[in-house]
Structure 1
């Protein structure tokens, strides 16, 4: 084998790893849809294997158990949502907040099964699942806080106000993707305005956290 062939060669173990990762990602994608439409307790491993058209042992091989499979689905979905919503740090505060809300809605609109899995699917009593979902809420709160206040570490009252707004957004977004009677642009503007009300309430109760002024967008 010459040097150019050696450079272009792929080690069989690497090819196997790529195939394994692709297979795992495929199973997670299937699971997103299953758990979005059916509760955790209603799905058996036999059901999952039948829908995925694989041997049940393959799911155990990648995820150990049904719970492990579900947790992997939730964690993967959460990572995608947070990545989509975060960013835009070079924008002025008001535009940064609007961008976060728009990206959040875009993710929910184009990844409906994953969004439902994050917000409402599966094992409601499971502490680890709750921790994952709480983590995505805290990540969105931090992203909004950074856009509104240029900082992520905020006072308890400000955090609680933003967390309450995020929880209301989850319910509204679930209803919106089920009944998309409003355009995404209209939905975004509605959520931006309700966030404005939340920020003004925070400012009234905690003057050290002034609400960003829309005028700053033109600065």
Structure 2
């Protein structure tokens, strides 16, 4: 599994072979097939493992103000992006042909987990459609920013992470104009941050 994660993190899935994984792991090709059945099963096992690692990294590590927690979470997110560059890019740009199936489901589970963590961190209402749309839009922006950063690297990571926190504040500010519950949340977050 460690060898598969290393290869899928540095190359896109289509260019990794079972032979590559076996050679890096110091195992026989037959052994890899025995445990995983084939390349797709190995890829999915590696993807699930990477998704679990990302979700664990995103969990708040210590109590703190919500926007500070968000900033710390972004740093851990970009640490993950940097450690798994090619795999992250291949996954979010399309990955294997069955992206709509189990791969797509795994990606959506990570997004849902991130969404839930943000709601919990902000002590936010869980059933507000304006807030849901706002947070999902922000998560999409973070993914896009990660891909852009990997491709160009012309914005320093700390600056990009700060921009994304500011972007969350801006999005919540706009949403606050459209929903009283979000307005209350926005006021509380800003008050907590600068109190």
TM-score, length-scaled by structure 1? 0.75
- What is the aligned partner in structure 2 of residue 59 from structure 1? 32
Cα separation, 2, equivalents of 1:111 and 1:129: 16
Cα separation, 1, equivalents of 2:16 and 2:129: 39
Cα separation, 2, equivalents of 1:53 and 1:122: 26
Over 3 Å counting, the alpha-carbon distance change for 1:43 and 1:96 in structure 2 is closer
Shift of 1:50: 5.7
Cα separation, 2, equivalents of 1:106 and 1:120: 19
Residues 16-52 of structure 1 show CA distances to partners (whole Å, capped at 9, x for unaligned) of: xxxxxxxx3x33323423xx53343x55545654666
- What is the aligned partner in structure 2 of residue 136 from structure 1? 110
- What is the aligned partner in structure 2 of residue 217 from structure 1? 193
Q: Which has the larger radius of gyration?
A: 1
- Where is the helix percentage greater, Structure 1 or Structure 2? 2
- What is the aligned partner in structure 2 of residue 111 from structure 1? 84
Over 3 Å counting, the alpha-carbon distance change for 1:60 and 1:192 in structure 2 is same
Q: Would you say 1:30 and 2:6 are equivalent positions?
A: yes
* Aligned residue among 69, 75, 86 for 2:42: 69
* Aligned residue among 185, 189, 214 for 2:158: 185
* Aligned residue among 142, 145, 170 for 2:143: 170
The answer (yes or no) to whether the contact 1:45–1:56 under 8 Å persists in 2 is yes
Cα separation, 1, equivalents of 2:92 and 2:174: 26
Shift of 1:213: 3.8
Indicate the SS of the match to 1:146: helix
Indicate the SS of the match to 1:154: coil
Q: Would you say 1:154 and 2:130 are equivalent positions?
A: no
Q: Would you say 1:102 and 2:69 are equivalent positions?
A: no
CA RMSD of aligned residues (A): 2.5
Aligned length: 191
Shift of 1:106: 2.2
Over 3 Å counting, the alpha-carbon distance change for 1:49 and 1:152 in structure 2 is farther
The answer (yes or no) to whether the contact 1:105–1:173 under 8 Å persists in 2 is yes
Shift of 1:182: 1.6
TM-score, length-scaled by structure 2? 0.83
Cα separation, 2, equivalents of 1:94 and 1:50: 45
The answer (yes or no) to whether the contact 1:78–1:118 under 8 Å persists in 2 is no
